[in-house]
Amino acid sequence: MSRTRVAILGLGLIGGSLGLALRQVGSEQVDVTGFARRAITGELALQMGAVDKLSDTPQAAVQDADFVFLCTPVLQMLPMAETVLPAMKPGAVLTDVGSTKGWFVKKIRNLLPQHIHYIGGHPMAGRERSGMEAAQADLFRDKWFIFTPLPDTPPDLMQRLRQLIQLTGAKTAELDERTHDQVTAVISHVPHVVAAGLVQLLRKQSDPALTARFIGGGFRDTTRIASSDADMWADICMTNSENIAAELDATVNLLGNVAAMIRAGDRQGVHDYFTQAKQLRDALLTTEKELK
């Protein structure tokens, strides 16, 4: 692979981790230019080694780039794309790391000039902490990185982007944006809403402090992701709203059935509920281990 020039716009947890991972490969292979909204973020990115250099404006960051990564919260990606598209060189690829894909694809399709291609991306990796200070070079290692190419994406560009991301240690896969949004609603978006709901439940108790005093591993484990960034999750809910709302309705319905079984003293029904969940989860974790 010849030297690839990458621009990363937004140096938070994901943008910063991408920079750290790509820079570990060596600057003879990959050159990373970053743009940070706040000076303090940019300084930290330089200090931690997530970028080779910083640009003062997003337009300057992208002008020589082969691949431009939008790494802001999802709703901020559109104004950022509008700002940088006119400054990108012909043949360059606009990509991103956003957690939802359909909303952005719909918007960007009408904005793309002929000489720029867009390929969506989503690393299935993250942490409940955010910002450059939480970035890690090995965040993507052995994790899925899903691409959502468009029907007219040239295969050679898809292949180059795949190879670039594989340098981070990620496993790559391709889905259309609709399937991506359905799948991630179930395995990522709804679990985040539900984890936050469990914390809200505690808040609504008559004496939340007393209840919280006795928190153990169960509450801690199931609510870990409720510590994630509210800005990011509000954007995700606004840009995959139909899938998330439908799966939340299904969750409420499912829990309603469990509540009814508990009220009715249907021990066998409740037992089956836990047994089926345990069997499926244990099987999923075993398959995951075998795939590694």
199: helix, strand or coil = helix
Question: Smallest distance, Å, CB 286 to ligand NAP?
Answer: 25
State the chain's maximal CA–CA distance in angstroms.
Answer: 68
Cβ proximity to ligand NAP: between 15 and 102 the closer is 15
Question: Smallest distance, Å, CB 155 to ligand NAP?
Answer: 25
Question: Smallest distance, Å, CB 99 to ligand NAP?
Answer: 3
Distance CA 4, CA 285 (A): 36
Beta bridge partners of 146: 122, 173
Q: What counts of helices (H) and strands (E) characterise the chain?
A: 13, 8
Question: Smallest distance, Å, CB 73 to ligand NAP?
Answer: 5
Question: Smallest distance, Å, CB 240 to ligand NAP?
Answer: 10
Question: Smallest distance, Å, CB 145 to ligand NAP?
Answer: 10
Cβ proximity to ligand NAP: between 46 and 270 the closer is 46
Give residues in contact with ligand NAP (CB under 6 A).
Answer: 10-15, 36-38, 41, 71-74, 76, 80, 97-99, 122-123, 126, 130-131, 229, 232, 236
Distance CA 7, CA 29 (A): 14
Q: Which two tokens stand for residue 78?
A: 């559109």
Would you say the C-alpha torsion 106, 108, 110, 112 has a positive or negative sign? negative
Question: Smallest distance, Å, CB 224 to ligand NAP?
Answer: 12
111: helix, strand or coil = coil
Cβ proximity to ligand NAP: between 43 and 282 the closer is 43
Distance CA 213, CA 87 (A): 55
Q: What is the DSSP letter of 70?
A: E
Torsion of CA 235, 239, 242, 248, to 10 degrees: -30
C-alpha gyration radius of the chain? 21
Taking the chain, what is the end-to-end CA distance rounded to the nearest angstrom?
A: 26
Distance CA 270, CA 69 (A): 47
Distance CA 158, CA 176 (A): 13
Cβ proximity to ligand NAP: between 73 and 120 the closer is 73
Cβ proximity to ligand NAP: between 103 and 157 the closer is 103
Distance CA 51, CA 47 (A): 9
Cβ proximity to ligand NAP: between 133 and 272 the closer is 133
Cβ proximity to ligand NAP: between 187 and 210 the closer is 187
Cβ proximity to ligand NAP: between 81 and 158 the closer is 81
Question: Smallest distance, Å, CB 214 to ligand NAP?
Answer: 29
